[in-house]
Amino acid sequence: MLTDRNYDHAIDLLQNRFGSKDLLINVHMTKLLNLCPVKKSHDVTALRQLYDECEVHIRSLQSLGVASEAYGSLLCPVLLQMIPDNIALQYSRHRETRNEWKVSEVMEFLQKEILSRERTMQLIKSVKIQSAKQNNTVLLQTVRACAEGPAGRRSIRCLLDGGSQRRFISENTVRDLKLPVIKQETVILHTFGSAAPVTAKRNTVKVTLKNVWQKGQKIEIEALETPQVCTAVMKIPELSIGGDYYWRIVSGRAERITDALVAVESIFGWSVQGPVKMSIVADAACLLKAFWEIESLGITMKQTENPEEEEALLQFEKTTHYKDGRYKVELPWRPDKPELPDDYRTAKKRFEGLKRQLQSDLVLRHRYNEQGIVEDIAEEDSFPTAVKYYMPHHTVFWEDKVTPKLRVVFDASSHDIGSPSLNHCLLTGPNLNPDLLSILINFRLHAIAFTADIKKAFLQISLAEKDRDAVRFLWLAALLHEDRGETPRVLRMMRVVFVVSPSPFLLAATVRKHLKKYETQLSEVVKIIKESLYVDDFISSASDVEKAFSITANAKQVMSTASMDLCKWTTNSPELKEKWKITTTEPETETPGAILKVLGLEWRTETDDFVFDLTALLDAVAKRENTKRRVLKLSAHIFDPIDFLTPFVVHVKCLFQEMWIQGLGWDEDLAQEWQKWCSELPQIHHIVIPRWYGVKSEYKHNAQQLHVSSAEEDVPAKSGVNGRLGNNLLKPLNMELRQVHLFTDSMIVQWIRSPAHKWKQFVSNRVSEIQSLIDPAMWSHCKSKVNPADLPTRGQTLVNLKESELCSSDQSETEPVLDLLKYSKLKKVLRVTAWIKRFVHNASSRSRRGGESTAEEMFEAEKYWTKVTQVSSFNPEISLFKAGKSLNSDSKIRDLKPFLDADELLCVGGRLQQSNFSYREKHPWIVPSKGRYCKLLVQYNHEVTMHSGLRDTLVRIRNRQWILQGRQLVKTILSKCTVCKRFKAKPTQQDMAPLPRDRITETPPFKVTGVDFADCSITEEGYKALASALRSNPSHLIELDLTGNDPGQSGVKELNDLLQDPNCQLKTLRFLGPAADEACQYVNGIVGKNPLLLRELNLSKRELGDTRVNQIAALLQDKHCQLNTLK
């Protein structure tokens, strides 16, 4: 116990324990070496806190006798690691590397850097413009100065008006600073556009103005007191300085920023004056941050618990009540909320400009009043301790496709400078809405899709009486033409207002609380509503019409008990629409082919697909303002929550990165790459994504597979994203998944499948995360060329994206199980397939199959390959049949009247249903003419028919399959059959000799004549008659055939006389067959006597002896012999 007697001893004990110099030095050095780093250079508050903390410890060490030079080499590198990289880089550029580290030098640099950033933060503020009719404005020459008076000092904005003769100061500034009145003057005011001057009495006050940062520069000004210096420009000036003091404040130094924008130096700092283009843009830092953040949904890390969210939930559970078919809630106030001032004056200023717009829709107030949404305020009804806040509002013409109307939009974030707004005093609450990606996945899960929304959802929740004064607003007291300057009427909301920051939380929490009542009775419907209701939009799908009708009817009934009406029902099913018309659930009237908004996506119900309408973006691009600022702004117009257009949009990010590296200014013109990207934008209308991806959970016997592909680097730094993405895709699927495969083109699969402790710490942490989310056995590797997720990495044009097979076709596997090019026989393909199917069956079932392949297994293999070929060629037709729709007019199989059988195989329709043929003969499977399987099928049937012709082969094929353009295909394959070629080959024939000249030379008729007497058994009398006839016209005879005749001596003599005639033209003489030796002697004589004409002599089949051969040899040696041919 501390008393007067032991006080000195207590001091000694404290000195001994806590007054040790070494201990104090150790504490200060430890804190210096363990400072909290600042990662963001725009976080000026954190930088200032870091600097102040360093300064405290350095000064404390100095007071303990430790100079900063003693630990400079240790502390300076640590400090540079604690500040952002760009600031550290700037210091390194200015520091001389040869000098030793000095703590004072680093601290001085930080002080200047932080002071500069603090000044910038005071000058630059984000503003929100409610409406602007023009996109240009003129910056007035204004400066910020510190005004001093008897009541203190305050920062004011001064307008330097070189065209004014006097100075004016606002009454508010005079009243706040209690400026002394020097005198009272009567002034004549000439305002712009006025017909006559205005005379008024004004007080003249004296005020001292000082520089905000350099207090030494100051000036005393006498100004006239006025209620308002000027109308509301960007920032209302509180002091107007005329031309008499203008050049005492302005130094005359000016710097030209652009051709029209000039910076002018004054004793209070620099001011900017001139015209600039006004941009209604969000905070550039926030927009740029969002530009580089991950755009895909469901792959962010789980956020830590927020105490404020838990407090909001706790307040909601305690204060929410259900009464008269409606829920009543209280606003979740912050426990440490600041005092909310009365902002009636601000709300009234903004209300003055809305009178004429509100006059056109006075019915809105009366309708709200009748529905119990608003009420007039009686002061006796207000709670004494209630918070009073007036919400400014403006009108918006909401041009909906169905019901265009004028709507009032409130502003709960409005506040005066230095005062909080209503939203600042309220807890936002947790986000209780389901994940956007989960809703869209379930929306695409089934064939029948339907949407609705809650009619005026927020206005269906009552607000507690004690919180209604916080949502006051001003309204017209009377009609505008009757308005005589009356005070606006004060109203207050009785329901939850959408613009209040916790309103989404209150709506979601109320719906969840209401659904708990029906968890036992309608558990399935309650589950669907929880997973499909996003704020006030109900979006879901079902496998068939009956189930969809049951869900919509029950959902409407459940929500109606909370006074929430589900309306504007839309669907892609005409049958479901008819069922709605019969009941009270009326579908929303819509134009055929209309496009509906579904969570930002544009859904075309008639064709059941997603389209992209970027009309606003195209209009903005047409303005041809190609600057870096515009690239950032226009890229934000594309809303693509499922990343359909990421391969195309990634070009913008790459372009923006290149511009950043090149150091281009925000308003500099860009290169041709941006113009090329903009030129492709009109093609975005051709990108059409089917809404339903065809997975049917009702087929329990089919093992459905979900494949997730992702392109990453060979380092698993981002591979955890893959695991989180796959995990988030599996959660919302309302179906039983027996097996899941995830594919990646990265080489990290081996890391994932191995124990995490085997790798280094960096890799081990990420591998552990992946293994905790998804079974490592589910991961497989695929090639980049077949990975659809690799398209965003490479980037694609819109034309290539539309025609890309990776995006348009089903990529269920990276490679086929069997490569048909390795097989030449269909029978072997079917047998191998049957064995693979048997292996799969034996591996997954207790009943095992054995023995040879059965006919049933071969038939299943045939069905498998038929389905593979049909899916590869007729996938659009199959999808239409599954959706219950008819084929398009340009379909290749439309004329075959196709349909899907029980095995989901396309079959020929036809008119043979009543015939005695088998089912397969009546309805053969449709097979495309292209592909390896079809060729093997034709070859197999051709061999089975013993290499019969075209007709037999085609008939046998059509007993089971119908090949498109089958006749041409069979004809082509049969023409290449080697067996058929060998048996149909013809023997080789001798080429015929050239035709004689006499047969090809143009002559008169009967110019050349030949007589054939072969085997006529001509007698001696006949020879005489022949010789007599030939002498009558011997000049035309050139050929004489006496084959098989024995002319004898008399006949030869007659011929001899004939040939001796000078007019004889005989060139060919044939003597085939037996003859006497005398005849041969006469022949030799004939030839010898007429050697000039005879060209051919045929003595075939004669038995010539030596004598006759010698005679013929002698003939040939005769120089007059003209024989060309001797047989």
**Each residue of 370-411: pLDDT tens digit?**
556 888 886 555 556 678 898 888 776 555 444 445 577 888
CA separation, residue 571 to residues 363, 442, 568, 722 (Å):
33, 15, 10, 34
Lowest mean pLDDT across 185-194, 699-708, 815-824 = 699-708
What the block records as the tokens of 836 is 């693979």
For residue 494, the one-letter residue type is: M
What are the residue ranges of CATH 1.10.340.70 in the chain? 820-983
Count the neighbouring beta carbons within 10 Å of the beta carbon of residue 510. 25
Q: Please give the Cα distance from 750 to 758 (Å, whole number).
A: 11
Task: Report whether pLDDT(817) > 50.
Answer: yes
Structure confidence at residue 109 as a pLDDT band (50, 70, 90): confident
The pLDDT of residue 714: 36
The pLDDT of residue 587: 53
Residue with the larger pLDDT of the pair 796 and 435: 435
Q: Please give the Cα distance from 496 to 157 (Å, whole number).
A: 38
Q: Which residues is 489 bridged to in the sheet?
A: 475
What are the residue ranges of CATH 3.10.10.10 in the chain? 309-604
CA separation, residue 703 to residues 74, 566, 697, 844, 992 (Å):
64, 36, 9, 12, 72
- The alpha-helical segments, DSSP class H, found in 322-447 are 344-352, 355-359, 362-370, 436-443
> What are the phi and psi torsion angles at 275 (to 5°)?
-80, 140
CA separation, residue 609 to residues 601, 604, 718 (Å):
10, 6, 32
Task: Report whether pLDDT(709) > 50.
Answer: no
Q: Please give the Cα distance from 83 to 75 (Å, whole number).
A: 13
Asked if 267 and 249 touch (Cβ cutoff 8 Å), the reply is: yes
Q: Please give the Cα distance from 1102 to 1121 (Å, whole number).
A: 22
Give domain 136-278's CATH superfamily. Answer: Acid Proteases (2.40.70.10)
Residue with the larger pLDDT of the pair 710 and 732: 732
Q: Which residues is 638 bridged to in the sheet?
A: none
Residue with the larger pLDDT of the pair 947 and 1070: 947
Residue with the larger pLDDT of the pair 587 and 552: 552
Q: What is the CATH number of domain 820-983?
A: 1.10.340.70
Count the neighbouring beta carbons within 10 Å of the beta carbon of residue 388. 17
**Class at the top of the CATH hierarchy for domain 309-604:** alpha beta
**Kind of pairing between the strands at 374-376 and 489-493:** antiparallel
Q: What is the 3-state secondary structure (H, E, C) of 1046-1114?
A: CCHHHHHHHHHHHHCCCCCCCCEEECCCCCCHHHHHHHHHHHHHCCCCCCEEECCCCCCCHHHHHHHHH
CA separation, residue 75 to residues 61, 102, 745, 936 (Å):
13, 9, 46, 79
Structure confidence at residue 513 as a pLDDT band (50, 70, 90): very high
What the block records as the tokens of 203 is 């007080």
Task: Report whether pLDDT(1006) > 70.
Answer: no
Rounded mean pLDDT of the chain? 76
Task: Report whether pLDDT(555) > 90.
Answer: yes
Structure confidence at residue 543 as a pLDDT band (50, 70, 90): confident
Q: pLDDT above 90 covers what percent of the chain?
A: 16
Asked if 271 and 160 touch (Cβ cutoff 8 Å), the reply is: yes
Task: Report whether pLDDT(136) > 60.
Answer: no
Q: Please give the Cα distance from 802 to 798 (Å, whole number).
A: 6
**Among candidates 40, 21, 38, which has minimal Cα distance to 29?**
21
Task: Report whether pLDDT(894) > 80.
Answer: yes
Q: Please give the Cα distance from 934 to 969 (Å, whole number).
A: 9
Task: Report whether pLDDT(1074) > 70.
Answer: no
> What are the phi and psi torsion angles at 247 (to 5°)?
-80, -5
For residues 262-275, average pLDDT: 79
Q: Please give the Cα distance from 563 to 560 (Å, whole number).
A: 5
**Helix (DSSP H) and strand (DSSP E) numbers for the chain:** 40, 39
- Please, which residues have CB within 8 angstroms of residue 927's CB and are 6 or more apart in sequence? 866, 869, 870, 933, 934, 937, 961, 962, 963, 964
**Kind of pairing between the strands at 961-963 and 925-927:** parallel
**Among candidates 560, 551, 642, 543, which has minimal Cα distance to 600?**
642
Asked if 558 and 522 touch (Cβ cutoff 8 Å), the reply is: yes
The pLDDT of residue 457: 92
The pLDDT of residue 703: 43
The pLDDT of residue 1060: 67
The pLDDT of residue 25: 83
For residues 197-218, average pLDDT: 80
Q: Please give the Cα distance from 558 to 356 (Å, whole number).
A: 42
CA separation, residue 868 to residues 14, 864, 1001, 1084 (Å):
88, 6, 68, 86
- DSSP strands (E only) in 100-243: 136-139, 142-149, 152-160, 168-170, 181-189, 198-211, 218-226, 239-241
Q: Please give the Cα distance from 635 to 633 (Å, whole number).
A: 6
Q: Please give the Cα distance from 1079 to 1091 (Å, whole number).
A: 18
The pLDDT of residue 816: 57
For residues 103-132, average pLDDT: 69
Eight-class DSSP state of 701: T
The pLDDT of residue 658: 74
Eight-class DSSP state of 301: P
Structure confidence at residue 713 as a pLDDT band (50, 70, 90): very low
Task: Report whether pLDDT(197) > 80.
Answer: no
Asked if 1040 and 1011 touch (Cβ cutoff 8 Å), the reply is: yes
Alpha carbons within 13 A on the beta-carbon side of 134: 6
The arrangement of secondary structure in 997-1126, i.e. its CATH architecture, is: Alpha-Beta Horseshoe (3.80)
